[in-house]
Amino acid sequence: MSKKGFIFDLDGVIVDTAKYHFLAWQQLAKNLDINFTEEENEQLKGVSRVRSLEKILAWGNKTISQDLFDKLMGEKNEEYLSYIAEMDESEILPDVPKVLSFLKDNKQPISLGSASKNARTILERVNLKSSFNAIVDGNDVTKAKPDPEVFLIAAKQIDMKPEDCIVFEDSVAGVEAANTANMISIGIGSKSVLGHADYVFNDFTEISEDFIKSLIEK
């Protein structure tokens, strides 16, 4: 069988941590008297921590000092980590382990490509760290998605050319990053949001082994 590089986003693809980000950002917004909605939280998917806080402050028409900004970012992360600490394997999204095992059995290199600085902790919690040949996350990049940097580094770490890589992504910015990197983009979510991806599936239960084989042989 030929070889392709498979790059997975984390939040929204492997686990649903958006709900924990939401709870932590909501607490922060409440303390600042800002009304923060689930719709707004949707717009923070794939967006870095710094940029997320900038957006929340802009929605609430608030300006704060750099010191307070840094303090709030720290507090938000502490709260987020308290939810992460409770995670276990039951939070892995349906059929993700099946797809990872299929790729491993067929000797396909696998990398993580996430914006999160907590990616390694999350993978450890859900016991998936050893499924990845490389892990590239928010600590390894200088430019956030939609910049392709995270996926280009991931491709390099698994010794694959960008055009031989396939990216699974749930965010608009992430799909854009994969497209810019000249990789095949597979959107996980709704077609109405991720219409710019090469393929879109609601979740991994819709992705067949035959489809993955066809990508490998492409």
Give me the residues that bind ligand B16 (CB under 6 A), please: 9-12, 21, 44-49, 52, 77, 114-118, 138, 171
Beta carbon of residue 218, minimum distance to ligand B16 (angstroms, whole number): 25
Give the Cβ contact number of residue 120 at 10 Å. 17
CA 67/CA 178 separation, integer angstroms: 34
Residue from 40, 79, 137, 170 in contact with Mg ion (CB under 5 A):
170
Beta carbon of residue 116, minimum distance to Mg ion (angstroms, whole number): 8
What pairing do the DSSP bridges indicate for beta strands 184-188 and 134-136?
unpaired
Among ligand B16, Mg ion, none, residue 40 binds (CB under 5-8 Å by kind): none
In this structure, are residues 197 and 187 in contact, taking their beta carbons and an 8 Å threshold? yes
What's the count of helices (H) and strands (E) in the chain, helices before strands? 9, 6
Among Mg ion, ligand B16, none, residue 49 binds (CB under 5-8 Å by kind): ligand B16
CB-count exposure of residue 138 (10 Å: 0-12, 13-18, 19+): middle
Residue count, binding to Mg ion (CB under 5 A) = 6
Nearer to Mg ion, 18 or 57 (CB): 18
DSSP label of 131: G
Beta carbon of residue 55, minimum distance to ligand B16 (angstroms, whole number): 10
Question: Which residues are catalytically annotated?
Answer: 9, 11
Among Mg ion, ligand B16, none, residue 104 binds (CB under 5-8 Å by kind): none
Residue from 5, 12, 162, 189 in contact with Mg ion (CB under 5 A):
12
Beta carbon of residue 138, minimum distance to ligand B16 (angstroms, whole number): 5
Residue whose token pair is 């308290």: 82
- Could you tell me the end-to-end alpha-carbon distance of the chain, in angstroms, rounded to an integer? 11
Nearer to ligand B16, 9 or 176 (CB): 9
Q: Phi first, then psi: give them for residue 112, nearest 5 degrees.
A: -90, 145
Binding site for Mg ion (CB under 5 A): 9, 11-12, 46, 170-171
